Structures are given as structure tokens and as C-alpha cells.
Amino acid sequence: LVHSASQVVTVRNDAKIIAARGQEMRHVDIVEGTEQCGVSVLIDSNGKIAFVGLDTDVAFEFPDVHKEVERTIDARGKSIVPGLVDAHTHPVWVGDRVHEFAMKLAGATYMEVHAAGGGIHYTVEKTRNASEEELYCSLVERLYSMLSTGTTCVECKSGYGLDVDTEIKMLSVIEKARKEVPISISCTYCGAHAVPKGKTSQEATDDVIKHQIPKIRELMSKEELHVDNIDVFCEKGVFDVNQSRRILQAGKDAGMNLNFHGDELSPLDGAKMGAELGALAISHLEEISDSGIDAMTKAGSVGVVLPTTAYILRLTPPPVRKMIESGMAVALGSDFNPNAYCMSMPMVMHLACVIFRMSMPEALVAATLNSAAALGRSGDLGTLSVGKCGDMVIINAPRWEHLVYQFGCHNETISSVIRNGDVV
Ligand code: NIG
Ligand code: FE
């Protein structure tokens, strides 16, 4: 039982809403306490939310609550929001690319560094040579860091192997973390993250489709791996639209949701292709066309925007206002990777407000319900609704907006993070 908070913010307390689209993103439901009466959240022994509302009502609905409750967290003067969901990360790798940050500050573009054999290629080499143990330890450390900034569910991609053995090594590391770390994980196979050195993009496409996906599918059928999504970097100089379409279709046939990188650096109309295939989500979208927006909106694909990358690469921001106005469900992700080294969703929300011109409620919806929807998890995550998982963030301030307003100081802003009813 978390009791006597001054505000509990639940992003549309309606189980029927799978994702908030367009104007709906403006609204968050706030249960507001008063001097006399605070607000409470009650979580049952299965870790599910049993009640959200005024203290007087909890006493009425559950008269014996104070006898039965195992643990009470006093949140007086604080506020509560749903656990944050990070819809896009690349958290399995070793080595860093701080030297490339210097190159980019000196004027090199992301694709120049990549074409010269750095970028993803640099990380692939380090990751291929790393042991499973080494990758696992660094992943666990990162997941705990994400938890400390309020993330209770995170999408984790492979994609620094680009060969079947290393991709499976990465997916196995994610699988192990799923069982051992108190954070929900949505696992994404991203074997087509780049064209490996020595191969053409056509050869790499065939390798992914004919060799990697069948092997991963076999491990999925033996329940040795649980892969939720397939990703591809659909970009000029990486995988073109037709190659991306073939890769995504093969993943779909293997039972994976489509969730990929599109229209980031060049306007290839990847969004349109993804919408045609029924993509659950498409990420980046800095270069999305008007017809791409229209196609995604009609198809119900979630647009995952990534402010850290747009910021660090000084890209023109995606047309987020247009996307929201068209009625698209827009979600947020940290895109944590060696290029954009940020694990903090409150920081991402702050950047989304300032550089993508989202309002604070829109950023909260995008970082909870809509990011859960981008992972097909909005039925049990993303809002503080009765029956959903007891995942929440207690904020050290009487108004929830402090989570976005205060930036770069989450230790002071966040008081506790709760997942399935446990303080983590
Ligand atoms: O989302 N654009 C492709 N993938 C990542 C970057 C990965 C990397 O640079 O290591 C992204 O920005
Ligand atoms: Fe990415």
C-alpha cells in the first residue's frame, strides 16, 4: 500500500485504451489528495494493482486493509506516476565510443563515421570478442541504472553481432537478464543492424533470412529464447526498403512483432513500407513524409521518437506535432547505445518537451502507455489501472511534473521505484 501521496497520476485510467492517439495524449487522469485526505495505491499479493484512489475510499472498499497489508510506503508530500517504459534500447555491448563523440563534435556525421568502419562496426568487433559473462555483467549494471531512473519495462535489442553466433549470444544474455533482473524486458532481434564487413547488403539480407532467423526460430520453439520483436536499420547505405521489407516479413513469419529503425537520416519512406506490413512500431522518423505519417496513423503503428539521438547528432527533429495532430500514437525511447549514452527516461522526457515540443502530459503518455503499446504490452503495463502490474515511480515532489522539469538529477527527483509491488 502506498498511501497519502498528494497526486497519483494515471495515464487514462481506462483498460480499453490500448494507446493514446493524437489529442488523447494531452490528457492524464490525476487523483488529487487534499490536506485532510491523501491518495493511495493498493497492490495485491500477485503484484497487481487492486485500488487507486482517495484514502477514505480505500478504507471503505477494503475495511480490513490495515490489518492485512504487509507493507506500507509513506508517500506524504510526494506524487506517483506509472513505471516508465523505455521503448527502444541497444544495451548489450562492451567498449565505448567516446573517441567518436569527439570526432562528431569536430564535424563528422554519423554515417561518415559508420562508412569509415567505425560506429556500429566498432562495437560489433568488441562485442564479438566479448564473453557471454562480460556482456551479461554490463547489461545487468545498465538495467539497474535504468531502474533507478524509473524504467520498469525496457525493450532490449541485439544487433552488435551481425553473425548468427554473436546474435544468439546477445539474445541469450537478454534472456538470462529477463529471468534474473526485476525489470520487464521486451527482446528484439536486430541481426540487420548493419551490413557486416566483407558482405554486400544483399548477402547480409540473405544471411539474416536464410540462416539467422531459422536458427533463432528453432531456439524459440525450444523455449530457449523468447524473442518478441524483429528490427532492421532501414537506411541509405545500410538496408534499403525492399531488403528491409523481406527481413521484416521473415521475422513476422517467425512470430515476431515488427519494430524497426526507419526514416532517420534519409527519407526512404520506410514508414509507408512498415505500415503496409502492419508494423507494431517504427522508430526515429526524423525524415518521415506526410504520406508516411498518414499511412502509419491509418495502420495504427506506434511512432517511437528518440530525442537523445536527434540531440546528439543535431538532426532536424521528427515532425512530432504533425504526428500527434494526425492521430498517431507517439512513444518515447532512450535509444541507449554507444552513440547516445543515456539511460534515463526522465531526461528523455525533458528533451522531448524542449526539442520536440511535446507537452509534459504528452511526454508522460509517450513514456508509459504508448511505449508499452509499442511493445504490445499496454494490456498489463503503462497505466495505474486496477488489474495491471503494480509498477510505479514515487516522485519527491507534490506535483508529478517535477519528474520532467528537474533534469539530470534523478537521485533527488525519484524517491522509489516499484515493480510488481516490490521496491527495486
Ligand atoms: O538507433 N540507427 C541505428 N542504430 C542506433 C545506433 C547504434 C549505434 O550507433 O551503435 C540508433 O541510433
Ligand atoms: Fe536504435
Mutate which of 337, 341, 342, 348 for ligand 1? The one with the most ligand atoms within 8 Å of its CB, which is 337
Looking at the CA of 188, which ligand is closest? Answer: 2
* Unique residue bearing C-alpha cell 495491471: 388
With a 6 A CB cut-off, is 159 part of the ligand 1 pocket?
A: no
Residue 185 has which C-alpha cell?
524486458
Task: Quote the ligand 1 centre to 227 CA distance (angstroms).
Answer: 20
For residue 21, CA distances in Å to 177, 305, 313, 323, 369 come to: 32, 14, 28, 10, 11
Residue 191 phi/psi, 5-degree rounding, is -60, -20
Q: What string of H, E and C letters represents the secondary structure of the chain?
A: CEEEECEEEECCCCCCCCCCCHHHHHCCEEEECCCCCCEEEEECCCCEEEEEEEHHHHHHHCCCHHHHCCCCEECCCCEEEECEEECCECCCCCCCCHHHHHHHHCCCCHHHHHHCCCCHHHHHHHHHHCCHHHHHHHHHHHHHHHHHCCEEEEEEECCCCCCHHHHHHHHHHHHHHHHHCCCEEEEEEEEECCCCCCCCHHHHHHHHHHHHHHHHHHHHHCCCCCCCEEEEEECCCCECHHHHHHHHHHHHHCCCEEEEEECCCCCCCHHHHHHHHCCCEEEECCCCCHHHHHHHHHHCCEEEECHHHHHHCCCCCCCHHHHHHHCCCEEECCCECCCCCCCCHHHHHHHHHHHCCCCHHHHHHHCCHHHHHHCCCCCCCCCCCCCCECCEEEECCCCCCHHHHCCCCHHHHEEEEEECCEEC
Domain coordinates of the chain in residue numbers? 2-82+382-423, 84-374
What's residue 65's pLDDT?
A: 83
What's residue 97's pLDDT?
A: 97
Task: Quote the ligand 2 centre to 231 CA distance (angstroms).
Answer: 9
* Unique residue bearing C-alpha cell 556500429: 120
How does strand 49-54 pair with strand 184-192? unpaired
With a 6 A CB cut-off, is 311 part of the ligand 1 pocket?
A: no
With a 6 A CB cut-off, is 335 part of the ligand 1 pocket?
A: yes
pLDDT per residue, tens digit, the chain (424 aa), is: 777 778 888 776 555 678 999 999 999 999 998 888 889 999 999 999 999 999 889 889 998 887 888 899 999 999 999 999 999 999 999 999 999 999 999 999 999 999 999 999 999 999 999 999 999 999 999 999 999 999 999 999 999 999 999 999 999 999 999 999 999 999 999 999 999 999 999 999 999 999 999 999 999 999 999 999 999 999 999 999 999 999 999 999 999 999 999 999 999 999 999 999 999 999 999 999 999 999 999 999 999 999 999 999 999 999 999 999 999 999 999 999 999 999 999 999 999 999 999 999 999 999 999 999 999 999 999 999 999 999 999 999 999 999 999 999 888 999 999 999 999 9
Choose among 389, 408, 375, 419: nearest CA to 188.
375
* Unique residue bearing C-alpha cell 497519483: 8
Task: Quote the ligand 2 centre to 207 CA distance (angstroms).
Answer: 21
What's residue 22's pLDDT?
A: 94
Residue 284 phi/psi, 5-degree rounding, is 85, -90
Non-local CB neighbours of 233 within 8 Å, separated by 6+ positions: 190, 192, 193, 194, 239, 260, 261
Straight-line distance from the first to the last Cα atom of the chain, in angstroms, rounded to the nearest whole number: 15
What's residue 11's pLDDT?
A: 74
What's residue 6's pLDDT?
A: 81
H or E segment at 148? helix 132-148
Q: Tell me which CATH code domain 2-82+382-423 carries.
A: 2.30.40.10
ipTM of the complex model: 0.98
The CA-CA-CA angle for residues 302, 308, 282, to 5°, reads 20
Most distant pair of Cα atoms in the chain: their distance: 70
Rounded Cα distance between 352 and 143, Å, is 22
The CA-CA-CA angle for residues 331, 336, 339, to 5°, reads 120
Helix, strand or coil for residue 391?
A: coil
Domain 84-374 bears CATH identifier 3.20.20.140: yes
What's residue 284's pLDDT?
A: 98
With a 6 A CB cut-off, is 184 part of the ligand 1 pocket?
A: no
Around ion ligand 2, which residues have CB less than 5 A away? 335
